[in-house]
Structure 1
Amino acid sequence: MRVAMVTGPGRTDVVEVPTPTVGARDVLVKIRACGICGSDALYIAIGGLRDGHTPLGHEPAGEVSQVGNDVTDISVGDHVVVNPMVAPSGIIGNGGASGALADYLLIEDAVRGESLEIIPDHIPFEVAALNEPMAVARHGVNQCRPIPSDKVVVFGAGPIGLGATIAFKSLGIAHVAVADLVTTRLEKALSVGADAVVNVADEDLVRRLIELHGPGESMYPGKAGTDIYFDAAGAPSVINTALSAAKRGARLGIVAVHKEPVPVDFLSIMTNEITVVGSMGYPDEIFEVTRDIVADWEKYALIVSHTVAFDDVDEALRLASTPGAADKVVVTFP
């Protein structure tokens, strides 16, 4: 079978390897779609995460092709999504022994609801492949402890920001605004359920939030009534803007990766008793979000901007790593 691997700094190759042997407690999945993550570009740039070649791909969806004798509740032909974090041989596509940018993926010690989950056959594989990144978004949302009466602004209308928007609305949040610089992304945010959008290229964000969410209580004037500021953009200006706009008791959730230290106004945090919470991965959300994808798959489908066949995986990786070229690239398999 074929596997896309990092073979050196800045270099990837499709390598032929033996198809895995299925043990009694294992399941073999024929990969039908696998998303490209920003971390893949990092692994390529640094030459991988392990000695020798590093298999890529941690956002898979596929079809079960073989089932070990001791595995229950999973059958050949089932369509599945995968939890890459629990593989005994290391995190799939993140330094582990296997990656999902491959024809087949062995799920060791397969347990439904822990290592993989079945999805209905009508869900397109390229949408199902969003399960892993959408779990990242859902965990970030859960970290903010939202309640239905909250008013929210999501910074960044990329895949994670859009996934967070869908998650907030699926939890019944009263009002969700999305802020971004790109008009087409903001249009997509409205399509997936945002109540309002703010183009920060030509609008004053704080003034717009006050219009949308009302004024906020604070010892200082000019604060917005927004309850949750959700950073899915990763720009230092987001942190500064959120803290300058935040009312007493507001929450700032950070799921975006900030590659450089960001100066923080601790006086605003202290005087307005702002809660700042980080988010990493998905301790419990990997299959929680599956139910939401199944229920609202047409909305999630809007997040995928490009599908590229595995035969052209080099183009898919290039496209995903080129700033502004694509929002979400998913590699598809026959």
Structure 2
Amino acid sequence: MAKTMQAVVLHGREDLRLETVSVPEIGPGELLVRVGAALTCGTDLKVFRRGYHAKMLVPPTLFGHEIAGTVVAMGEGVAGFKPGDRIVASNSAPCGACLFCRRDQPNLCSDLLFNNGAYAEYIRIPARIVEKNTLHIPDGVPFEHAALMEPLACVVLGLEQCFPKPGDTLVVIGAGPIGLMFIRTAHINGCRVIAVVKRDDQIASAKRFGADEVVQIAEGVDTVAAVRALTPENEGADIVVECVATPSTWEQSVDMVRKGGTVNFFGGPPSGTVVALDTNRLHYGDITLKATFHHTPATNRRAFELITSGRMRAEDFITATASLSDVPDVFAKMLVRSDNRMLDIKTAILPGSAA
């Protein structure tokens, strides 16, 4: 096998470069995987814009984290995998020993091990991720569909932590990739879904993914009132999931939920952001406020089952493909998306395609 490969390297703020680098060396318990597909992600976009991620990477560094591919080599002691196996690996794995892991909150692990380097010809999968968060891809499931597992696992955890029941009215604010995953997953769980969107093209997208009603944000429209008008007796939704990550939508989400309902602040605004909430409404309305971070080994498996069963319709999320050499341009375009044109949901980066 070649000793070098093509890979996308993050050098800093809005600085991605396709470079020739060494193929990763693997140690005990690790896998070397030929990347079949890597997906673009909103987290990667934020890292590209910011130039770093305090928890996951410091430039210059290999980039990207949603991947699926084929095992080409194994380190000593690997069990359950062999060369030629088609696998999907998540971007992290918990330690299993810290306070949070012991309390069955592995998404909050004090020693969460992250992995990056998906936009490349090969990627090393660390032993802990091999053990806890690497799964075999069934025949007939494309790599780009399998690679959706990690972000969907975050959504599955977020929805499960809201304890939805069939027939519940659930509002999703935002119709980007994560918002659309929430819409689809809530629909699968039997919820009546109201989507709150901004652009014209998102109306059709939200309905295609399972929204029963759509409220479009517009000048002169009271978004909260429009949402509440679609709920039983105008009392508000049972569950509101915020996927936009702005102070205004955090505040609106609390006004959209009914007494006794739950708000999930899934979208995380920048550090230091402050919001104003009506404490009287929270207290006397008995409203539950929560936020969900990351995923767990269990939700990775439940998300993967949604994909492999076909219920998630993963093909609907993959709206464009590109080669490794296209990645810098893909992210540059993601930064300047227009509010008035149809946007790609996720782009599948296919290292085997022509550069």
Which residue of 254, 264, 270 corresponds with 2:265?
254
CA distance in structure 1 between the aligned counterparts of 2:113 and 2:290, rounded to whole angstroms: 28
Please list, as runs of the form range in 1=range in 2, the aligned pairs for 1:213-232 lying within 5 A after superposition. 213-215=231-233, 223-224=235-236, 226-232=237-243
1:65 aligns with 2:66: no
Please give the per-residue CA displacement for 1:28-59, whole angstroms capped at 9, x wherever unaligned. Answer: 11111112223323333444355651211111
CA distance in structure 1 between the aligned counterparts of 2:130 and 2:276, rounded to whole angstroms: 44
Please give the per-residue CA displacement for 1:65-103, whole angstroms capped at 9, x wherever unaligned. Answer: 22345322223222221121139995112xxxxx11111
Gaps of at least 5 residues in structure 2 are 96-111
Please give the per-residue CA displacement for 1:230-260, whole angstroms capped at 9, x wherever unaligned. Answer: 1012233323323223321011111112233
Tell me what 1:48 maps to. Answer: 52
1:275 CA drift (Å): 0.6
- The 3 A distance-change label for structure 1 pair 172 and 22 is same
Please list, as runs of the form range in 1=range in 2, the aligned pairs for 1:128-277 lying within 5 A after superposition. 128-173=146-191, 175-201=192-218, 204-215=222-233, 223-224=235-236, 226-259=237-270, 260-277=273-290
Match for 2:23: what amino acid?
A: T
* TM-score normalised by structure 1 residue count: 0.86
1:195 CA drift (Å): 2.1
Tell me what 1:74 maps to. Answer: 81
1:287 aligns with 2:301: yes
Q: CA RMSD in A?
A: 2.5
- The 3 A distance-change label for structure 1 pair 215 and 130 is same
User: 1:107·1:115 contact (CA, 8 Å) conserved in 2?
Assistant: no
Tell me what 1:305 maps to. Answer: 319
CA distance in structure 1 between the aligned counterparts of 2:87 and 2:156, rounded to whole angstroms: 19
Which residue of 89, 92, 96 corresponds with 2:115?
92
1:142 CA drift (Å): 1.6
CA distance in structure 2 between the aligned counterparts of 1:10 and 1:182, rounded to whole angstroms: 26
1:37 aligns with 2:60: no
Which residue of 28, 38, 55 corresponds with 2:32?
28
Please give the per-residue CA displacement for 1:111-131, whole angstroms capped at 9, x wherever unaligned. Answer: 766131112232222222221
1:298 CA drift (Å): 6.4
Q: SS of the counterpart of 2:181?
A: helix
User: 1:188·1:302 contact (CA, 8 Å) conserved in 2?
Assistant: no
Match for 1:176: what amino acid?
A: V
User: 1:123·1:297 contact (CA, 8 Å) conserved in 2?
Assistant: no
- The 3 A distance-change label for structure 1 pair 280 and 120 is same
Higher deviation after alignment, 48-57 or 245-254: 48-57
User: 1:140·1:254 contact (CA, 8 Å) conserved in 2?
Assistant: no
1:283 CA drift (Å): 2.8
1:204 CA drift (Å): 4.7
Gaps of at least 5 residues in structure 1 are 94-98, 217-222
CA distance in structure 2 between the aligned counterparts of 1:323 and 1:273, rounded to whole angstroms: 39
Q: SS of the counterpart of 2:132?
A: coil
Match for 2:173: what amino acid?
A: F
- The 3 A distance-change label for structure 1 pair 127 and 118 is same
1:208 CA drift (Å): 4.2
Tell me what 1:319 maps to. Answer: 333
1:152 CA drift (Å): 0.6
Structure 1: which 4+ aligned runs deviate by more than 6 Å?
none
CA distance in structure 2 between the aligned counterparts of 1:212 and 1:52, rounded to whole angstroms: 47
CA distance in structure 1 between the aligned counterparts of 2:230 and 2:125, rounded to whole angstroms: 47
- The 3 A distance-change label for structure 1 pair 47 and 159 is closer
Match for 2:275: what amino acid?
A: V
Which residue of 304, 307, 310 corresponds with 1:296?
310
User: 1:48·1:54 contact (CA, 8 Å) conserved in 2?
Assistant: no
User: 1:33·1:332 contact (CA, 8 Å) conserved in 2?
Assistant: yes
1:206 CA drift (Å): 4.2
User: 2:18·2:324 contact (CA, 8 Å) conserved in 1?
Assistant: no
Match for 1:244: what amino acid?
A: D
Which residue of 9, 12, 20 corresponds with 1:8?
12
User: 2:90·2:129 contact (CA, 8 Å) conserved in 1?
Assistant: no
